[in-house]
Chains A and B, each alone.
Chain A
Amino acid sequence: MKELSLNILDIAQNSVKAGAKNIEISLAEEGNRLTFRITDDGCGMSEDFLARVLDPFTTTRTTRKVGLGLPLLKMAAEATGGSLEISSRSEKEHADHGTEVTATFYTDHIDCPPLGDIVSTVVLLLQNAPFEPRYVYSHSKGENVFSLDTDELHEQLGPDIPLSEPAVLEFTESYLREGEEGLG
């Protein structure tokens, strides 16, 4: 993956596949440190699977929910002096199930990939009908914060118009681009 925003797209798609109804994507930039966190309330992973999830060679086709994405992301984060952490609670064992992936990168390291086009990532997640979990996206740069909650979009749109409607996506993309530019 050439951009961190592509990893975010990949992880959030996995949250959708895990049946999540709520997905939170938060991105925080403070000085030279960039942290992103994707939290979902999907089916989660068993402790056994969680222990192996970062090993690319134990992933099988039946558990292709993860594949090579996370091990390579961990390697990329650690190459910059950062880290990748995953916690997960399986729905079979916990009522409050879900998964949280947190990655930290140091942007002044020569090997740090660029964040890339985060707006396209969010727009494509919203386009992924008929799966419409609630997304809460937030991006902070120092003191400045921009956020988008799809519940607020639905409030304006009413029950019949999906977020994947081209006119809605076009609006959301411009709204996100303005918000991102406002962060400086």
Chain B
Amino acid sequence: MKTLAELNEIRERMKTKVSVRENGNTYRVVVGMATCGIAAGARPVMSALLSEVTAQHLEDTVHVSQTGCIGICQYEPVVEIFKGDEKYTYVKMTPEKMKEVVDSHLKNGKPITEYTIGSM
């Protein structure tokens, strides 16, 4: 049975980690979570992204956030990945495709171009 007191352990563990993460060179992953995104299936995509990032221990190099409508509702769920000046826009995402992208792009630095908007 989980208790809120377990958060104390996480707090202790995180103390050192948070400061390490302040340095750049990280991926910023943004998921469109407006009505259009949610209706198209953004929630399971986001859940898959979060659990995969945790499972692959990428918390220090990947920062996940949410945004509203990106303006291309017909391509939702949309996931944008930024690093420095680079930007990749993954479209019509599914939890399965998301896992592949985490493995290939975020872990091994190889974007999967066939899932990006340029190949639509």
B35 interface neighbour in A68, A156, A161, A168, Cβ under 8 Å: A68
Closest to B14 in A: A161
| A78 at interface by CB-CB < 8 Å | no
| A49 at interface by CB-CB < 8 Å | no
| B20 at interface by CB-CB < 8 Å | no
Task: Assess whether B2 is in contact with A174, with CB atoms less than 8 Å apart.
Answer: yes
| A158 at interface by CB-CB < 8 Å | yes
Q: A157-B10, A161-B18 are in contact. Are A175 and B4 (CB under 8 A)?
A: yes
Q: A6-B38, A68-B35, A127-B46 are in contact. Are A168 and B1 (CB under 8 A)?
A: no
Task: Assess whether B14 is in contact with A124, with CB atoms less than 8 Å apart.
Answer: no
Closest to B67 in A: A128
| B111 at interface by CB-CB < 8 Å | no
Closest to B15 in A: A160
B38 interface neighbour in A10, A168, A174, Cβ under 8 Å: A10
User: Inside 8 A of A17's CB, which chain B residues have their CB?
Assistant: 68
Task: Assess whether A161 is in contact with B1, with CB atoms less than 8 Å apart.
Answer: no
Task: Assess whether B2 is in contact with A127, with CB atoms less than 8 Å apart.
Answer: no
User: Inside 8 A of A10's CB, which chain B residues have their CB?
Assistant: 35, 38
| B107 at interface by CB-CB < 8 Å | no
Task: Assess whether A69 is in contact with B35, with CB atoms less than 8 Å apart.
Answer: yes
User: Inside 8 A of B10's CB, which chain A residues have their CB?
Assistant: 157, 161, 165, 167-168, 171
User: Inside 8 A of A1's CB, which chain B residues have their CB?
Assistant: 38-39
A residues contacting the other copy or chain, number (CB 8 A) = 35
Q: Can you list, as one digit per residue, whether each of A94-127 has a CB less than 8 Å from chain B (1) or not (0)? A: 0000000000000000000000010011011001
Q: Can you list, as one digit per residue, whether each of A158-174 has a CB less than 8 Å from chain B (1) or not (0)? A: 10110001111111001
| B50 at interface by CB-CB < 8 Å | yes
User: Inside 8 A of A68's CB, which chain B residues have their CB?
Assistant: 35
| B70 at interface by CB-CB < 8 Å | no
Which one of B58-66, B77-85, B98-106, B112-120 is at the A interface?
B58-66
| A64 at interface by CB-CB < 8 Å | yes
Task: Assess whether A6 is in contact with B43, with CB atoms less than 8 Å apart.
Answer: yes
User: Inside 8 A of B47's CB, which chain A residues have their CB?
Assistant: 120, 123-124
Task: Assess whether A170 is in contact with B38, with CB atoms less than 8 Å apart.
Answer: no
Listed in ascending order, the chain B residues whose CB lies under 8 Å from chain A are 1-2, 4-8, 10-11, 13-15, 18, 33-35, 38-39, 43-44, 46-47, 50-51, 53-54, 59, 64-66, 68-69
Besides A129-B65, A160-B14, A168-B7, 4 other A-B contacts (C-beta < 8 A): A161-B10, A165-B14, A174-B2, A175-B2
Contacts A/B (CB < 8 Å), 15 sampled: A6-B39, A68-B35, A69-B35, A120-B43, A123-B50, A129-B65, A152-B4, A156-B4, A156-B11, A165-B10, A167-B13, A167-B54, A169-B54, A171-B10, A174-B2
